[in-house]
Amino acid sequence: MAGGVNGWKGPPCYRAAVEATLIAPSDGASADPLHGRLESHWLGRIEYGRAWPLQKRLAAARADGRIADQLLLLEHPRVLTLGRTSDPSHILASPDELAARGIGVVRVERGGEVTYHGPGQLVAYPILALGRRGLLVRPLVRALEDAMIETCRALGVEAARRDGHPGCWIDPHGPAPRKIGALGLRVERGVSYHGIALNVSVELADFELIDACGMPGVVSTSIAAEQGSAAPPTTTSVEAAARLFAAALASRLRIGGGADLPEILPDPTATIAALERTLDAAGA
């Protein structure tokens, strides 16, 4: 793509945003009694080291047809994640500086470049059996982007997609484009996992530690910043965005009955324990 963000002239980052090991779905998907359901869960603030193996277990169980599709909604303590082929030189801070800030670095199997996660950022992990929903990867990417855009709009912020650069952007074709949401997926055995990160009230100074999306000079923003708020990150703001995102994604995927979170959310610790018990009972 000619031009780019803040002078970036490198390759588009769509190709790196999704890593796929695709295996044809099993026959009889339409007869799957779990096919139509999307179960949404609010996990609150959860360490990356606990959420990562949980979503991998859920993805494997979904591939085996033992559970329904899942949508995990949460925020992480501060951490940097690198995609499977990410260039670590896009981490601008030294190991000592990261350690002083209490920020770890984890390399994972998703596509995409380095991503920051932290309080005040909505993270959503859609664990979907794509073939059973008749979904290809690109339409899923667009549905996730649209759900981020609709979430921003519902909170009074106009966002859009930027062709060739997955995620969610403010003023993507203007003089000062700003990235507000990141996207990186893994598709394995026909099931997606990893997902999106939408900046709600996150501490933007931490994005100075990385070249977001591997794009030097890219400017990150948040819903709070676009609203003119300097308030500190809050889990409450992320929870509100999670409700909007779940409904928007269900609409985009045309899931009957939606994927709404309950009006009164259970304690996240109890929700995580219940998911783990479900997996144990399913032998996953």
Catalytic positions, written as ranges: 213
Q: What one-letter code names the amino acid at 212?
A: A
Cα separation, 121 vs 200, whole angstroms? 5
Nearest Cα residue to 149 out of 95, 196, 219: 196
Report helix, strand or coil for 86.
coil
Provide the residue count of the chain: 284
Cα separation, 259 vs 248, whole angstroms? 9
Cα separation, 76 vs 279, whole angstroms? 22
Cα separation, 194 vs 74, whole angstroms? 12
Q: What one-letter code names the amino acid at 163?
A: D
- Give the CA distances from residue 255 to residues 35, 36, 225, in Å, rounded to whole numbers and listed in that order: 10, 7, 32
